[in-house]
Amino acid sequence: MHWLYLFLAILAETIGTSFLKISNGFSQLFPSLIALSGFFISLILLSFVLRYLPVGVVYAIWSGVGILLVTLVGYIFFRQNLDLPALVGIGFIILGVVIIFTLSSTQST
């Protein structure tokens, strides 16, 4: 169940970050409320996950997958393009998450 909570926390954080962009510096009420709600829900769900998994592993997965999803949202909805070094850097972050899942025994409880 903790993996489902982690996945939902990542989605909530992605929604929060996406609406943070739309909030225009918290000057738009509705997008600001969605952004804050997304972050709040994400942190609540992360607190449940931290009962079962080490904080470093949880944060690495949460931030790594979140970076990928926010990058995709930025590309699809905000027409934001990244250069090759940025894409390579994001690739290394995702590689780190894959290494944790495939090689590390610290993520299994």
Map residue 70 onto helix, strand or coil.
helix
* 47-69 tens-digit pLDDT: 999 999 999 889 989 999 999 99
Write the CA distances from 44 to 7, 77, 105, integer angstroms: 13, 27, 25
**Alpha-carbon gap, residue 4 to 65, rounded angstroms:** 14
- 97 pLDDT band, cuts 50/70/90, is confident
Q: What is the pTM of this model?
A: 0.89
Span between the terminal Cα atoms of the chain, in Å: 12
Element housing 62 (H / E): helix 55-77
7-60 pLDDT, tens digit per residue, is 999 999 999 999 999 999 999 999 999 999 999 999 999 999 999 999 988 998
Evaluate whether 32 touches 9 at the Cβ level (below 8 Å).
Answer: no
Instruction: Kindly state the DSSP code that residue 53 receives in the 8-state scheme.
Output: S
Position 109 confidence tier, pLDDT thresholds 50, 70, 90 = low
Going by the DSSP 8-state scheme, the letter that residue 24 receives in this structure is T
**pLDDT value of position 42:** 98
CB 1 within 8 A of CB 49: no
Give me 88's structure tokens: 């390579």
Residue 71 pLDDT exceeds 80: yes
